[in-house]
A = this chain, B = another copy of it.
Amino acid sequence: MTDQTGSGNRRTASAQGLQRIIISVDAMGGDRGPAAIVAGLSKSARKNKHIGFILHGDKAVLDPLVEKRDELRGICEVRHAEDVVTMDDKPSQILRTGKKTSMWSAIDCVKNGEAEVVVSCGNTGALMAMSMLRLRKLPGVSRPAIAVFWPSRNPIGFNIMLDGGADIRADEVDLLQYALMGASYARNGHGIQRPRVGLLNVGTEEHKGRAEIKAAAELIAEAAPVAKFDYIGFVEGGDLLSDRVDVIVTDGFTGNVALKTGEGTAKMVSEALREAFMATPLSRIAALIATTSLNRLRKRMDPRRSNGGVFLGLNGTVVKSHGSADATSFSAAIKLAFDLAQSGFNEKLAARVAYTPGDTQDAPALIENKASGKK
């Protein structure tokens, strides 16, 4: 990447005259180390001629890894960063001491306009804290959120839930903003023209649930026609996987518990299934016969295929890949980052939360006034 034209111009022209979208990648902090990250970039580069990378981390480790990959030649700049954010680092502390980490360096590339989006598989709390500090929140956004995927029977193969754990609390205005950001993300990031938005609650009856959820239900219903999504009302835990909703809104505490409960349940059922097939010689033969079908099932349930939580509500796009991401999985996160950058989704989202276009007189006030009433 010799032809970087500097801040403000985020798409560089390569030697071949191709327009490339530059992705800033934090190479450190994942459970499998930088080799898996570089292998993921390599996978992505083979499939996509419009991509370029700025890779952040220990140059002595990264240079040899990158040099081995022909497909990364000329499209992957390595930037040295001497420190690494570990999974045990506390977010509050790393903000003070983390200036020399690969994560900080990777985020700053988006801040100064050298890259369109940053991808990291490091410590989620630290990544969010650092992103908020360096990129700042979008005007009108009180709490940014992490949008995560759930496998579902919907045509795109998953549902979107937010907040997956950026903040442990959310009041009614936060929940309204999650609905607006989630709908915008579903539309501009995943092509769902009119997303169906549901609010997670303990029951679908009107009289159930916490006060802030009831208040949020009214705000979201009010905003839906203006922001061009369908509000379908309360949904329950089981609906996270259902095809009657596209975007599920909840606070980050509940969202995170649900996410880990779902992962834990799926893992337990899979393990029990494996044990069942290994139990007897006959069942082992059956497993052999059904290999193709079982592989299809495994692929469908494979969380690696939909890897990548997206931070919404910041001046810049941040994709959080799973900490244990392998090459396939990291490449999926890179693809998501690329698609988001290409669609210019963050600019559209910023417009969506700052004001509501196609609006009546009340519509901008709807968001602004409610937000100014916050504690």
Contact = CB atoms under 8 A, between A and B. Distances in A.
Contacts of A165: 202
Q: How many copies does the complex hold?
A: 2
Given A209-B168, A279-B293, A266 B265 contact: yes
Interface of A: 88, 90, 92, 125, 151, 165, 168-169, 200, 202-203, 205, 207-210, 236-242, 250, 252-254, 256-270, 272-273, 275-277, 279-280, 282-283, 285-290, 292-294, 296-297, 300-301
A266 to B, nearest CB: 5
A88 B238 CA distance: 19
Contacts of A237: 256-264
Contacts of A285: 289
A265 B294 CA distance: 18
In terms of DSSP, what is the predominant structure of the interface of chain A? helix
Contacts of A200: 257
Nearest to A87: B205
B262 A276 contact: no
Given A254-B257, A276-B290, A286-B286, 11 more contacts: A202-B253, A237-B264, A238-B260, A241-B264, A257-B258, A269-B269, A269-B301, A280-B293, A282-B293, A283-B292, A286-B293
B264 A238 contact: yes
A200 to B, nearest CB: 6
19 contacts: A90-B205, A168-B210, A200-B257, A202-B252, A237-B257, A237-B258, A240-B261, A242-B264, A254-B254, A254-B257, A257-B258, A262-B265, A265-B269, A266-B269, A272-B297, A275-B297, A276-B293, A279-B293, A282-B290
A202 B280 contact: no
A277 B290 contact: yes
Contacts of A290: 276-277, 282-283, 286-287, 290
Given A263-B238, A264-B242, A279-B296, A90 B207 contact: yes
A296 B268 contact: no
A219 B283 CA distance: 50
A293 B272 CA distance: 10
A208 B275 CA distance: 35
B300 A293 contact: no
Contact of A169 (B208, B210, B280): B210
The 3 A-B residue pairs with the shortest CB-CB distance, nearest first, are: A237-B260, A238-B264, A286-B290
* Residue picked from A208, A237, A273, most chain B C-beta under 10 Å: A237
Contacts of A169: 210
Nearest to A93: B207
